Structure 1
Amino acid sequence: MLGEKLRFGAFIAPFHPIEENPTLAIQRDLELVQWMDQLGYDEAWIGEHHSAAYELIASPEVFIAAAAERTKHIRLGTGVSSLPYHHPLMLADRINQLDHMTRGRVMFGVGPGALVSDAFMMGIPPSKQRDRMDEALDVLVPLLRGETVTHKSDWFELANARLQMTPYSRPSVEIAVASQVSPTGARAAGKHGAGLLSLGATSTGGFNALASNWAVAEEQAREHGQTMDRRAWRLVGPMHIAETREQAMADVRFGLEKWIYYFREIANLPIVPADAENPVEALINSGMAVIGTPDDAAAKIQQLLDESKGFGAFLFMAHNWADWTATKKSYELFARYVAPRFQDLNVNRQASMDWVKSNKAEFTGQMQAAVGARIVQHMMEKGSENIRPEIVEMITGAAAAKPPGE
């Protein structure tokens, strides 16, 4: 029996260098989701950011509404909605509307907010962000199930609050909580039985935290009468692949160093040491990124499966390291040659090919016998004197040789 298919998709922050036309950059993000939909990817998650100039999308809901009209199958998630930045009723209403507009294709990813600069502009103390995420999630879960909620907080209030429309998805849209190295996201996911979005799963800290964070989520789930589903666990990491490692390395010269600069100097996440002589090689050697071939990508996913003991989806961290043509090619190569290995897409094809090959002699003999019988029938109807000599020779057996190689 075939098991669950491992799903694939992208986590689109997005990342766009400062010198690019921002209007065209967002348009290309939409085109990427369309391309993924054509290639059969399962999911795309869209970020929310309000400062630092690289991660341009302020409203994942607006983006998802546009992307949903341009695609047919791919599911679309907020990746993630920063809960401290929104009144829970307003956010729940927008997500519920998207649930109806997309006919159930929307997913609700949540987190505390990644950029301290965003919180600073809104006067939100960074020390309060995680507490506010937890408090907001406590009311968002029942709201999205169509329940009535009353709650008073020092930063929002709900008085008999209820969504006007019952949810399209039942019991509600799928909810997933962002998690990195700390247990914050895992605890929230376990408390509510939500999915887990493990960001930076291929980094050293994120990779080492996979098993422990899942254990935290399961422990919290037990305490709150919930269950965790590994199919709702998504791991995120950056990859760029090409036909050869040399080509992949050449491709990423387009934008990788700008991406590293943004994380080191602006986002204050030094992914590569500042004194690294070759930032690209340092990134690869750290194990965080795959820059290579489909085989390299498959090896990394297998490593993640072994370490985590199983998860439901792997998401590319979309990064624009390569130009648009090479980026599209990377997604296509993965869909053609990597995804099938983890989705059992060719199991029956291989079994069918092996079966035909192992019975080649019998099938060839039956085919020749059938052809010979039809020739004999023709001779009996027309007379052997009307048959060309080579056909007579075939019937007598001279041409009925054994299959080639036997």
Structure 2
Amino acid sequence: MPGQKMRFGAFIAPFHPLNENPTLALERDIELVQLMDRLGYDEAWIGEHHSAGYELIASPELFIATVAERTRNIKLGTGVSSLPYHHPLMLADRINQLDHITRGRVMLGVGPGSLPSDAFMMGITVAKQRDMMDEALDVIVPLLRGEKVTAKTDWFELKDAQLQMTPWSRPSVEIAVASQVSPTGATAAGRHGLGLLSIGATSAGGFNALSSNWAICEDTAKDNGKTIDRNQWRLVGPVHIAETREKARENVRFGLEQWLYYFREVAALPLAPTDGSDPVDALIASGMAVIGTPDDAIAQIERLQAQSGGFGCFMQLAHNWANWENTQRSYELMARYVFPKFQQSNDNRETSLNWARDNRPTFMGEAMMAVGSRVAQHVEKKGTENIRPEILDAMGLNKKNDAAE
């Protein structure tokens, strides 16, 4: 029997350099999710950012409401909602409304907020963001289950708070907590029995922390009387594939340097090599990114499976390294050639082909016997003298040859 079906998705921050029309960039993000829906992707997670110019989506809820009307099956998550930036009742109410509007296609991804510049503009101390996330999550989880909550912290208060609409999804919309290297996300997910969203799974630190973070999540869940499921664990990594490795490398020259500039100069994450080496070579050699063929993407996912011990969904980090045409082709190649490997899509086809091949002599013999039988019946009924020569030739029966023999 087929095993559990791995899911595929994309984590769409998004990343758009400053040399293009931002309105059209947002429209292209919508088109990307529409493409994913047609190709059979399972999930798209949409980011929330408020500064630094590249990650343009300020409200994942508005984006989800828009794209939900233009898609049919794909599930749509906030990737992620920065909990310190929202009163928890207001956020829970918006997500609950989306749960109804989408008939259960919405998911809530949560985190403390990734850009210090966002927190600075709101007067939020970066050092307090993770504590604020935990405090907000403590009340959002029961709110989204339709429960009544009373709570008070130094930044919000709830008095007999309850969502006025019973949740569409029961017992709640699916919730996942962002995790990178630190145990913050894994601890929060385990405490509430939620999913885990490993955003930097292919970076050196994130990759090395996969198994330990899941162990922390499991231990915390056990300590709190909760259960967690590896199927609700999502791993994120950048991928661009083409028909050949050479073509993939050529494709990403379009936008890779601008993406690296953002992380090197603005987001201050050490993703770009500083030794003067080719960044494409460095990203491939480190295991950070797949820039190659469908087989390279398969190898990366298998590497993540071995390191993590198993997970439920692989998500491509949307990055705009290639132009729009080649980006679409990369997503199509993933769906055509990578999905089937991990979803057992062709197992029964392969079994059927092998069975037909192995029994071909038997089947061909029976087929020829059936044809011969019908030929004999026809000749016996009509007589060869009453059958036109061209028909006799087609049936392998020729009057002159038969007479000579």
5+ residue gaps in structure 2?
none
SS in 2 for 1:29: helix
Note the 1:65-144 alignment, pairs <5 A.
Answer: 65-144=65-144
SS in 2 for 1:146: coil
Distance between the aligned counterparts of 2:124 and 2:332, measured in 1? Answer: 42
CA contact (8 A) 1:276 1:282 kept: no
CA contact (8 A) 1:257 1:280 kept: no
1:322 paired residue number: 322
Note the 1:374-393 alignment, pairs <5 A.
Answer: 374-387=374-387, 388=389, 389-390=392-393, 393=396
Equivalent AA in structure 2 for residue 170 of structure 1: R
1:241 paired residue number: 241
SS in 1 for 2:234: strand
Note the 1:258-297 alignment, pairs <5 A.
Answer: 258-297=258-297
Distance between the aligned counterparts of 1:257 and 1:99, measured in 2? Answer: 38
Distance between the aligned counterparts of 2:259 and 2:63, measured in 1? Answer: 22
Distance between the aligned counterparts of 1:24 and 1:252, measured in 2? Answer: 20
Distance between the aligned counterparts of 2:71 and 2:81, measured in 1? Answer: 22
1:310 paired residue number: 310
Equivalent AA in structure 1 for residue 368 of structure 2: Q
Q: Summarize deviations over 1:132-190 as a string: whole Å, max 9, x none.
A: 00000000000000000011111011010000100000000000000000000000000
Distance between the aligned counterparts of 2:398 and 2:100, measured in 1? Answer: 70
1:335 paired residue number: 335
CA contact (8 A) 2:234 2:311 kept: yes
Q: How many percent identity over aligned positions?
A: 69
Distance 1:278 1:392, change over 3 A: closer
Distance between the aligned counterparts of 1:259 and 1:203, measured in 2? Answer: 15
2:160 paired residue number: 160
Distance 1:377 1:22, change over 3 A: same
Distance 1:174 1:386, change over 3 A: same
Q: Summarize deviations over 1:17-48 as a string: whole Å, max 9, x none.
A: 11110000000000000000000000000000
Root mean square deviation, CA, Å? 1.3
TM-score by length of 1: 0.96
Distance 1:395 1:357, change over 3 A: farther
Equivalent AA in structure 2 for residue 390 of structure 1: D
Deviation >2 Å, runs of 4+: 273-277, 386-396
CA contact (8 A) 1:375 1:395 kept: no
1:402 paired residue number: none
Distance 1:363 1:394, change over 3 A: farther
Size of the alignment, in residue pairs? 397
Equivalent AA in structure 2 for residue 100 of structure 1: H
TM-score by length of 2: 0.96
Q: Give 1:273 deviation, angstroms.
A: 2.9
1:228 paired residue number: 228
Equivalent AA in structure 2 for residue 75 of structure 1: K
CA contact (8 A) 2:2 2:347 kept: no
Distance between the aligned counterparts of 1:181 and 1:14, measured in 2? Answer: 21
Q: Give 1:392 deviation, angstroms.
A: 6.1
CA contact (8 A) 1:11 1:318 kept: yes
Distance between the aligned counterparts of 1:352 and 1:313, measured in 2? Answer: 28
Q: Summarize deviations over 1:89-119 as a string: whole Å, max 9, x none.
A: 0000000000000000000000000000000
Q: Summarize deviations over 1:312-365 as a string: whole Å, max 9, x none.
A: 000000000000000000000010001100000000000000011111111111
Distance 1:255 1:392, change over 3 A: closer
CA contact (8 A) 1:6 1:342 kept: yes
Please state if 1:361 is matched with 2:351. no
1:3 paired residue number: 3
Please state if 1:16 is matched with 2:16. yes
Q: Which moved more, 1:279-288 or 1:251-260?
A: 279-288
Note the 1:391-402 alignment, pairs <5 A.
Answer: 393=396
5+ residue gaps in structure 1?
399-406
CA contact (8 A) 1:376 1:395 kept: no
1:373 paired residue number: 373
SS in 1 for 2:69: helix
1:213 paired residue number: 213
1:347 paired residue number: 347
